[in-house]
Chain A
Amino acid sequence: MSALFFDDVSVWFGEGRDRVDAVRHANFRVGHGESFGLVGESGSGKSTIMRALTGLAPDWSGRMAVNGNPVRSGHRRDRNFYKSVQMVFQDPYASLHPRQSVDQVLSETLHLHGFRDIEPRIVRLLDDVGLGSAFRFRYPHQLSGGQRQRVAIARALAPEPSILLLDEPTSALDVSVQAEILNLLTDLRAEHKLTFLMVSHDLAVVAHMCERIAVMQAGEIVEVMGVDEMRALTPAHPYTRKLLQASLGYTRG
């Protein structure tokens, strides 16, 4: 049984003439405790895969399962789903409510998931993400981009999920802050035995974080490779080679 299972998954938006086939016949599995990456140019369908899984893209076909439990069609995911699967997005500015303090964000999430011992959990979550209690009563505008992303990660960890979906989690951050957040994610994965599904346009980031990587092009997974293949620049598919070449630097045309 895999942590995440995608079998012949297709996802589309709109109907008739306006229909966009965003993901076509995607197949992959992510093992328990594995970190799996999705790369490909913008619009290739990476985020859509995550959104279909979490119910944000309701039109899909095929089969998806989380820890062996089939995901049903439609918008709704039950509380059990969110107990297993949580998401962290690219933009920590957009994903936190400006009028909610860190304390409010975390206690609301903890309440929602039926926890009673809110107080000690908030302290532990802040500690886990390297913020400490000094940040507890701050509002988003009083936090730097990196600190906001730590709050977003704390919120994602609150229900004690086994799987984190990470959509460009460091793309909006300075490289110095990116290093701190990626180190934090590495530590959290080891401590909490987490499974990661991670999207990034930065191939070096994905190589650093993931053991296996799927390459997407125009809605299709064209290749799944091990990180060693990627680092050795010996992928099988010509598109992957092109992508790797582009990431090695801007070349004057």
Chain B
Amino acid sequence: MTPLLEVEDLWVRFPTRTGILDAVRGVSFTLGRERLGIVGESGSGKSMTGRSILRLIRPPGQVTAAHIRLDGEDLMQKSEAQMRQVRGERISMVMQDPKFSLNPVMSVGDQLIEAWRVHKKGSRSEARERALGMLEAVSIRDPERVMRAHPHELSGGMGQRIMIAMMLIPDPELLIADEPTSALDVSVQAQVLQIMDRLVQDRGMGLIFISHDLNLVADFCDRVLIMYAGRVVETCEADKLHEAKHPYTRGLLNSLPRLDAPQKRLEVLRRDPSWAETPSVRPS
């Protein structure tokens, strides 16, 4: 069976005054109908990896790859017009801050209805029914009221759930969530994760979950890629993340304070230049 997504030798480069900056360096992985986590510090290339799958890297940034296949079709070979269709219908992306993704001067209901009609070409009343259904699917208790609300009238957690609802309207095969819960606090975070989890299971969707939070990824995902300086330094089953071997991954884990193990001082990550030089590993 063809995997949902195959990424082979992906590079993202930015020309800068001091030379070429390689933001992503030779990353390869495949994805089935599962939850793949990408973790690493800020600047390690997580977002660039996610965005390049959608070919959303703006010039002067350049993306090269042997291939990026979605259901066997190489996205690298598609025209910009074809890519727009892929973005609208087959792959959706949720970003960290819903404030930047929702239209501030349009009610939530109108935005959902419009999004649905763009994809499904149904009547307005049908679109309205579906929009209400989407809000219920992301556990919004009073969807009628929320439909009338404008984005600034919603809490961060509510806004993020609406973003997810919006992204799910076209019934995508793949959802890329870039730090979708990092701006939310723990209690709300758990709700949003549960919603995404259910959607992966019920709809057989693939999920790329980008986060800097190791514990969250360990609990929530099936597999994990750990990135450092644009490379994948280690990959593992998510529930084995705490047994990770690479000194970078170990260093990150050890720098976390723990409820069950008091320490006088926290361990500080000591970086080894060789981490950035060893070629990306590929998941087995």
Interface residues of A (CB under 8 A from B): 41-43, 145, 174-180, 182-183, 186, 201-205, 207-208, 230-231, 233, 243-244, 246-253
Contacts and interface: CB of A to CB of B under 8 A. Distances in A.
Contacts of A246: 186-187, 190
Contact of B266 (A41, A179, A243, A247): A179
Nearest to B189: A250
Nearest to B271: A176
Nearest to B257: A208
B214 A250 contact: no
B259 A42 contact: no
Contacts of A180: 268
Contacts of A201: 185-186
A253 B220 CA distance: 11
Contacts, number: 87
Nearest to B260: A231
A177 to B, nearest CB: 8
Given A175-B252, A176-B41, A186-B265, A248 B193 contact: no
A66 to B, nearest CB: 28
B259 A179 contact: no
Contact of B257 (A204, A243, A253): A204
Interface in B249-280: 251-252, 255-260, 262-263, 265-269
Interface in B187-222: 187-190, 193-194, 197, 212-216, 219-220
A252 B42 CA distance: 27
Interface of B: 41-42, 155-157, 184-190, 193-194, 197, 212-216, 219-220, 251-252, 255-260, 262-263, 265-269
B259 A174 contact: no
Nearest to A206: B257
Contacts of A179: 255-257, 266-269
Given A179-B269, A231-B262, A250-B216, A174 B42 contact: yes
11 contacts: A41-B188, A42-B188, A174-B41, A180-B268, A201-B186, A204-B257, A204-B258, A204-B259, A207-B262, A230-B259, A231-B262
A182 B190 CA distance: 25
Residue among A145, A175, A230 facing the most chain B CB atoms (10 A cut-off): A175
A205 B213 CA distance: 14
B256 A174 contact: no
A35 to B, nearest CB: 13
Contact of B256 (A42, A204, A230, A233): A204
A252 B269 contact: no
